[in-house]
Structure 1
Amino acid sequence: MAAVPLSLQVGERKFTTTKATLSKSGFFSALLAGPWEGDLLMDGSYFIDADPDIFDFVLKYLRHGILPLFYDKVKGHDYRLYLAVLEREHILGHFASPFHKISIIRKRIDEYGFILIWEARYFQVESLEKWIHDKTYLKAIKSTHRASEVDRIQDVSRSFSSELDVEYHTSWKTEKIYICPRRIFVHRGNPEACGRQCKQAQGTAEPEYEEELTVKALAIEKETTFNFEICMDDDR
Structure 2
Amino acid sequence: MHITIKTPQRSFITDPGNWQGESEYFHKLFSGKWSDKEEDGSYFIGSDAYIFEHILQYLQSGVLPVFYDKKTGHNFPLYQAVLAESRYFAIDRLEKWLCERRYLDAVKINYQATETQDRGTYQKHTTTGADGRTFMVEDQLIDITTSSNMDVTMVPVTQQTNVFYCPDGKHGRSNEEYCRSCIDRARVSVNGGWRNEDQLKWCIVRKEVVVDHDLCVNF
| Aligned equivalent of 1:200 | 184
Aligned mate of 1:35, from 33, 45, 56: 33
Three-state SS of the structure 1 residue aligned to 2:98 is helix
- 2:31 paired with 1:10: no
Measured after TM superposition, the shift of residue 19 of structure 1 is 3.7
Contact 1:12 1:52 in 2 (8 A): yes
User: CA deviation digits over 1:55-100, x for unaligned, max 9?
Assistant: 111111111111111111111111111111112223xxxxxxxxxx
- One-letter amino acid of the counterpart of residue 165, structure 1: D
Tell me the equivalent position of 2:136.
none
Question: What CA RMSD, in Å, does the superposition of the two structures yield over aligned residues?
Answer: 3.3
CA distance in 2, matches of 1:33, 1:86: 24
**Is 1:225 matched with 2:191?**
no
Aligned equivalents of 1:141 and 1:202: distance in 2? 64
**Match of 1:135?**
101
- The answer to which of 78-87 and 11-20 deviates more is 11-20
1:145 aligns with 2:148: no
Deviates more, 1:157-166 or 1:65-74: 157-166
Query: Percent identity at matched positions?
Result: 32
CA distance in 2, matches of 1:131, 1:14: 27
User: For 1:45, which of 42, 45, 65 is the aligned residue?
Assistant: 42
Relative to structure 1, is the Cα distance of residues 32 and 203 closer, same or farther in structure 2, using a 3 angstrom cutoff? same
Matched AA of 2:83: L
Contact 1:5 1:18 in 2 (8 A): yes
Counterpart mapping for 1:76-155 below 5 A: 76-90=73-87, 122-151=88-117, 154-155=140-141
Question: Could you say if the C-alpha distance between residues 174 and 129 of structure 1 is closer, same or farther in structure 2, counting changes exceeding 3 Å?
Answer: same
Which amino acid counterpart does residue 69 of structure 1 have in structure 2?
A: V
Tell me, in whole angstroms, the C-alpha distance in 2 between the residues paired with 1:21 and 1:124.
Answer: 18
Gap runs ≥5 in structure 2: 121-138
**Structure 1-normalised TM-score?**
0.68
Q: Match of 2:55?
A: 58
Could you tell me how far apart the structure 1 residues matched to 2:41 and 2:166 are? 91
Following the alignment from structure 1 to structure 2, what is the Cα–Cα distance between the partners of residues 195 and 154? 21
Q: Is the 8 A contact 2:166 2:179 kept in 1?
A: no
Task: State how far apart, in whole Å, the 1-side matches of 2:85 and 2:2 are.
Answer: 25
Q: Deviations over 1:117-172 (max 9, x none)?
A: xxxxx211111111111122122221122333334685555331122211112266
| Kept in 2: contact 1:181–1:201 (CA 8 A) | no
Corresponding residue SS for 1:129: helix
Distance in 2, matches of 1:154 and 1:86, equals 53
Q: How many residues align structurally?
A: 197
Query: Are the structure 2 counterparts of residues 156 and 130 from structure 1 closer, same or farther at C-alpha, using a change threshold of 3 Å?
Result: farther
In structure 2, the residue matched to 1:73 is 70
Q: Distance in 1 between matches of 2:82 and 2:181?
A: 77
